[in-house]
Structure 1
Amino acid sequence: MTMRTSSDMPDHMVSPETGETLRRGTRPFPVTYKGETIVVDLPGYYGESDGDGVLVGDDMKAADEALRLLKERVDGVPTPDTIRRIRQKLRLSQRDAGRVFKVGENAFDKYERGLIQPSGPTVQLMALLDRHPDLLEELR
């Protein structure tokens, strides 16, 4: 199944609920996690009123990324970009990182695509190796 991107979308659609013509655009959307908030421009189809819109394809991507950033800021759960940065800093392939961290050869692929989050101990080890990359040799 191929996900349509915002650039592939028509500029308007009819609301399936109200019959109103909705136009492609963005609206400010607050994403809140444990009392912290980030406001993102959420793409979608919106009517003239401030009512609900219709989100399709990857429209929620901005909100998902904001939530990941908040989880990193509040709970220390690294975003996929942070995980990739640490792995590359350590000069490890995804498979090698999986072996070193004892999480399976495909785990880092899934972490970096945002499909799953690493466990607490894996997060702690990543943070430690980010600050002290020289410790990597001891793990091998």
Structure 2
Amino acid sequence: MALSKQKLPETMVSPETGETLRRDVRPFIVSYKGKSITVELPGYYPENGDEGVHVGDDMAVTDMALRNLKEEVEGIPSPTTIKRVREKLRLSQREAGGLLKVGENAFDKYERGLVEPSGPTSQLLRLLDQHPELVEELRGTAA
């Protein structure tokens, strides 16, 4: 998931307290089914305390951490893994969607993190990653 390079102001006024908040990063724990990871969460924070205001792509770091935990715990491939496997198989997004029967635009959505692949699609991607030669079998059945 690409993070934008938009330049944000160094300070903002808290909409709740009126206090001046400064642009900073703070540790934030992302948990999923008993597994946790600590990320550096950008945002606007008060001098004392961790309650911040997050704008733009600030939460993308937590989204990516959650996707990575889901991959570790349940085997649901992250957008990065999906793109890596698709490129390893030398498939365009459109070809991959057609070959796996998930729709021509599905891989675009998977790789941008907008949609998670279904269980069967996740399993098929795992198998194709381990046995890339199987893509030729799929091509044979698609013809």
TM interval, shorter chain, is over 0.9
For residues 61 and 96 of structure 1, the distance between their equivalents in structure 2, rounded to whole angstroms, comes to: 28
Q: Structure 2 CA distance, aligned partners of 1:18 and 1:6? A: 28
Q: Which residue of 2 aligns with 1:53?
A: 52
Q: Unaligned stretches of 5+ in structure 2?
A: none
Structure 1 residue 49, shift from structure 2 partner:
1.1
1:133 aligned partner? 132
> What is the Cα deviation at residue 135 of structure 1?
1.0
Question: What's 2:65 paired with?
Answer: 66
Distance in 2 separating the partners of 1:75 and 1:126: 14
- Measure the CA separation in 1 of the matches of 2:123 and 2:115: 16
CA deviation string 1:92-130 (max 9, x = no partner) = 011110111011111111111111011111111110010
Contact kept, 8 Å, 1:6 with 1:58, in 2: the verdict is: no
Equivalent AA in structure 1 for residue 89 of structure 2: L
SS in structure 2 at match of 1:99: helix
Identify unmatched segments of 5+ residues in structure 1.
none
- Structure 1 residue 14: deviation in Å? 0.8
Q: Which residue of 2 aligns with 1:23?
A: 22
Deviation of residue 6 (structure 1)? Answer: 6.3
Count, aligned residues: 137
Q: What is the CA–CA distance in structure 1 between the aligned matches of 2:58 and 2:12, rounded to whole Å?
A: 15
- 1:57 Cα shift? 0.7
Q: Distance in 1 between matches of 2:136 and 2:58?
A: 42
Cα drift, residue 7 of structure 1: 4.5
| Alpha-carbon distance between aligned partners in 1 of 2:80 and 2:10, rounded to the nearest angstrom | 31
Taking only the aligned residue pairs, the percentage that are identical comes to: 66
Say whether residues 1:88 and 2:87 are aligned partners.
yes
The yes-or-no answer on 1:104 pairing with 2:103 is yes
CA distance in 2 between partners of 1:135 and 1:63 (Å): 34
- Length-normalised TM-score, structure 2: 0.92
Secondary structure of 1:8's counterpart equals: coil
Structure 1 SS opposite 2:76: coil
Q: Do the aligned partners of 2:26 and 2:50 also contact (CA within 8 Å) in 1? A: no
Name segments (4+ residues, structure 1) moved above 2 Å. 4-7
Deviation at 1:51, TM superposition (A): 4.1
Quote the RMSD (CA, aligned, Å): 1.3
Q: Which moves more between the two structures, 109-118 or 44-53?
A: 44-53
Contact 1:6 1:59 in 2 (8 A): no
Describe the SS at the equivalent of 2:58.
coil
Q: Distance in 1 between matches of 2:69 and 2:128?
A: 22
